[in-house]
Amino acid sequence: MSNDDGTVEITHKTIGPSRPSRIRVASRIKVRDLRNAIAEKGRFPVANLRMILRGKALQDEEDGEDVYVTLKDEDSLTVAVIPKRPVGVETYDDDDDDEELKFQLPASASRWKRKLYYFLRNKLKLPDIILMGVFSLSLKMWAIITLWFILAPIAHSWDLGPIFLLGTGFSIILLNLGKRQPGDVSAYSIFNEDFRELPGTYNAERIDRDIRAGHI
């Protein structure tokens, strides 16, 4: 029966030989919280729990927002627990491989990132490879890319297109050179102190030494 505190009592039936159980929850509740409550009572793994209410599978999120569900007394919820893969058993399921290749935002992603992600994936139907490229770049990098596209037509109008492209190439090279830590040695001896070479370097000087020593 419904209480004055806004809770209702519902029945959940787990697929299989188990008997139906009853649980009292809020009449309006997040799907995520409902899943956790049922998993805690039935001692089910939350990640493997699927719920069906009134013929519809319940999802925790939709377009980056938590989904709420309104429950009534005597509502019946069907619960399915996906079995875990046996330890040491390898499966070759194409669906599992496709799922692993899909791009997913980390749980720590901000709300605006999640909303943008769901808009690009669900509304614009962008492939995962493009989504991966979009969300792997930092805001600083996106600002640089935007500035490049703003300056490109200006350089073209001043007949500086080739110089602009060359400058872009050199900038990319210089920005990706990185910094050597103390003690690191470059593969090119000209950049090392006293022109020190890497161990095992085989060059003309090494060949000359081997010939003079009779090793060749």
| pLDDT (0 to 100) of residue 154 | 92
Interacting residues of 44 by C-beta distance below 8 A, sequence separation 6+: 14, 38, 79, 81
d(CA 80, CA 7): 24
Return the closest-CA partner of residue 28 out of 78, 88, 69, 83: 69
d(CA 12, CA 75): 8
| pLDDT (0 to 100) of residue 81 | 82
| pLDDT (0 to 100) of residue 166 | 93
Tokens of 69: 């569900």
Q: Any idea what the Cα angle at residue 168 is, between residues 156 and 187, rounded to 5°?
A: 160
| pLDDT (0 to 100) of residue 192 | 67
| pLDDT (0 to 100) of residue 123 | 79
pLDDT along the chain (216 residues), means of 10: 71 81 87 87 82 85 78 85 65 50 69 79 79 79 88 91 90 76 67 67 74 76
